[in-house]
């Protein structure tokens, strides 16, 4: 059976709830809407899900160019409208600097009230810049079989793949078959990707994807059965890569390795 796209997931605002479209358009920088917005704390440093896990309870919807944004909170309250930009800022992203502008208006106030701490909403100036690894890691993939293997290691019926916040979930591949795609090109729908490495994991994956509360020790599990896997990032699970040829990708599209090992 050919491997296919089972699910597409992206975050309009880094750290908030994932959106699940049936079709996306990949550019060289990845998905234009993915993590176009992000949050910083009162100290100007990047605010991420390791500290503010419960922000996954807030759903976000933005247009392709980041000119409008809607936030929906668990109590049903919605903050929505056109974006107005304020001061320019530079934010540290894992050893590099990302240029952006403060988003004026009610969004920061609403998110700060929900999180119980001051937060500022920022829009990255360039699409794709606020991905953790920029263009070199603009896309990510994991197989449903890998998730099933992790569930067996955990002794649970299933592990929700949303914990890992991957752009593509693949069905029809063997468990951790995607590890062997590193250094190779993969055709995904009408786009072509080059897989650059395995994705190392952090404490965010221990959080329940609906509540943001720690509920499964994924790091202990990965350390127990994946620590021997060669990787430039610790505790690897899934692969990351860049877009070689832009194109559309739909749920159900074929996933095919086009470059031999």
- C-alpha distance from residue 235 to each of 154, 195, 202, 205 (Å): 15, 17, 8, 11
Q: What per-residue confidence (pLDDT) applies to 261?
A: 66
Give the C-alpha separation, 210 to 129, whole Å: 26
Q: What per-residue confidence (pLDDT) applies to 1?
A: 60
Q: What per-residue confidence (pLDDT) applies to 245?
A: 97
Q: List the chain residues with pLDDT less than 70.
A: 1, 261
CA dihedral for 210, 216, 220, 223, sign (positive or negative)? negative
> Which tens digits make up the pLDDT trace of 52-61?
899 999 999 9
Length in residues, the chain: 261
Whether 188 and 248 have beta carbons less than 8 Å apart is answered as no
Domains of the chain in start order, with CATH, are: 3-9+135-257 (2.40.33.20), 32-133 (no CATH)
Q: What per-residue confidence (pLDDT) applies to 48?
A: 84
Whether 135 and 242 have beta carbons less than 8 Å apart is answered as yes
Pull the structure tokens for residue 41. 């704390």
Put the strands of the sheet holding 119-124 in their side by side order: 37-41, 119-124, 96-104, 84-93
Q: What per-residue confidence (pLDDT) applies to 5?
A: 98
Q: What per-residue confidence (pLDDT) applies to 158?
A: 97
Give the C-alpha separation, 259 to 245, whole Å: 14
Please provide the DSSP assignment of 36-80 as one string: -EEEEETTSPBP-TTT-GGGGGSEEEE-TTSSEEEEE-TTS-EEE
> Which tens digits make up the pLDDT trace of 168-224?
999 999 999 999 999 999 999 999 999 999 999 999 999 999 999 999 999 999 999
Q: What per-residue confidence (pLDDT) applies to 134?
A: 80
Q: What per-residue confidence (pLDDT) applies to 91?
A: 96
Give the C-alpha separation, 102 to 161, whole Å: 32
Q: pTM for the full model?
A: 0.95
DSSP state of 207: B
Give the C-alpha separation, 67 to 63, whole Å: 6
């Amino acid at each position: 059976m050919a491997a296919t796209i089972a699910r597409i997931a992206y975050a309009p605002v880094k750290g908030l709830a994932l959106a699940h479209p049936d079709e996306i358009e990949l550019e060289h920088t990845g998905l234009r809407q993915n993590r176009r917005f992000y949050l910083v704390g009162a100290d100007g440093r990047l605010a991420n899900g390791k500290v503010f896990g419960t922000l996954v309870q807030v759903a976000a919807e933005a247009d392709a160019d980041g000119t409008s944004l809607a936030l929906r909170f668990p109590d049903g309250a919605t903050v929505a409208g056109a974006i107005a930009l304020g001061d320019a800022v530079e934010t540290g992203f894992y050893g590099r600097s990302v240029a952006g502008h403060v988003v004026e208006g009610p969004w920061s106030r609403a998110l700060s009230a929900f999180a119980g701490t001051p937060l500022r909403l920022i829009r990255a100036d360039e699409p794709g810049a606020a991905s953790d690894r920029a263009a070199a890691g603009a896309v990510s993939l994991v197989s449903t079989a890998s998730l099933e293997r992790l569930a067996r290691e955990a002794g649970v019926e299933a592990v929700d793949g949303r914990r890992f916040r991957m752009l593509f979930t693949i069905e029809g591949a063997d468990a951790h078959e995607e590890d062997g795609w590193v250094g190779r090109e993969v055709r995904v729908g009408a786009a072509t990707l080059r897989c650059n490495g395995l994705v190392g994991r952090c404490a965010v994956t221990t959080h329940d994807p609906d509540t943001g509360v720690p509920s499964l020790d994924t790091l202990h599990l990965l350390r127990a059965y994946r620590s021997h896997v060669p990787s430039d990032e610790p505790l690897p699970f899934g692969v990351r890569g860049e877009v070689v040829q832009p194109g559309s990708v739909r749920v159900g599209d074929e996933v095919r390795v086009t470059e031999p090992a």
